[in-house]
Amino acid sequence: MAKGADFGDIFVERGAFDVVRSDDRKIDTQTTLGKGVGIRGVKDGCVFYAYTASFDPPEIYRTARTVADAASRGKSPEGAAVVDLTKSTGGRSFPIVPLPKEVASEKKIEMIKALNTGPGRPTAG
């Protein structure tokens, strides 16, 4: 804002993601942590955005300076993409039921094992 942006905001995200996979019938589970900080500045109708996967304050400040410097230069360069963000809906819907986060890891492992040993597939051992 100090460099002339009309508006600015910060997005902070942190989440855990469970992964269950099978490689040659060997089941592997893993929990991955995702985190990051996104910083957006708006000036004269142009949006400037940068993101860091770090929560380290010097890295967040560097990311903020990147956005501020870009916004201080004003308009986007010629040929910059203009994206229509108007919400649109298609005529089709493919709901995911149940949601993956609602299924216990043990059940996911059972499902993967069933895929590996389903009809016409030899069993391990």
Strand 26-43 versus strand 46-52 pairing type: antiparallel
Distance CA(6)–CA(72), nearest Å, equals: 10
Q: Which residues contact 5 (CB under 8 A, 6 or more apart)?
A: 41, 42, 43, 48, 67, 68, 71, 72
Cα 63 from Cα 51, distance rounded (Å): 7
Q: What pLDDT was estimated at residue 49?
A: 93
Spatial strand order in the sheet of 46-52 = 7-23, 26-43, 46-52
Computed over every residue of the chain, the mean pLDDT equals: 84
Q: Which residue has the higher pLDDT, 81 or 61?
A: 61
Q: Which residues pair with 58 in a beta bridge?
A: none
pLDDT of residue 125: 47
Per-residue pLDDT tens over the stretch 68-91 = 998 888 765 565 666 777 777 777
Record the tokens describing residue 15, joined without a space: 């989440």
d(C-alpha 115, C-alpha 72), whole Å: 55
Contact, 3 vs 69, CB < 8 A?
Answer: yes
Predicted local distance difference test score (pLDDT) of residue 76: 58
Distance between CA atoms of 98 and 31, rounded to whole angstroms?
20
pLDDT score of 113: 83
List pLDDT tens digits, range 12-41: 999 988 888 888 778 888 888 889 999 999
